[in-house]
Amino acid sequence: METILTVCVVIVTLAFVALVVQAVLTLQQLRHTAKAVEYLALNADGKLTALDPLITGVKSVTDAVSSGWFKAARAVYGMFSRD
């Protein structure tokens, strides 16, 4: 009976050591990922301001599409396209 308990204690200890090793590796990867995200966040501001003209252009197109002229044109097209 004592041999079985010793084997069980050894197995549990090895499993715990494996868990600790995996936790340390995971935390190291998480730290590396957090540093990469921080670097991206710090450098993204300058890059995103370069996209302002593009965003303004897309906004003007969406405003034109949702305007009354587009709705009127769609209504006129709908009257002529009905069979």
Give the chain's radius of gyration (CA, Å).
31
Q: What is the pLDDT of residues 29-79, one digit of tens each?
A: 999 999 999 998 888 877 777 777 888 888 887 777 777 777 777 777 777
User: Which residue type does 11 have?
Assistant: I
DSSP character string of 2-69: HHHHHHHHHHHHHHHHHHHHHHHHHHHHHHHHHHHHHHHHHHHHHHHHTTHHHHHHHHHHHHHHTSHH
* Distance, CA of 73 to CA of 75 (rounded, Å): 5
> Would you place residue 82 in the very low, low, confident or very high pLDDT band (cuts 50, 70, 90)?
low
At residue 3, the pLDDT reads 92
Q: What is the pLDDT of residue 21?
A: 97
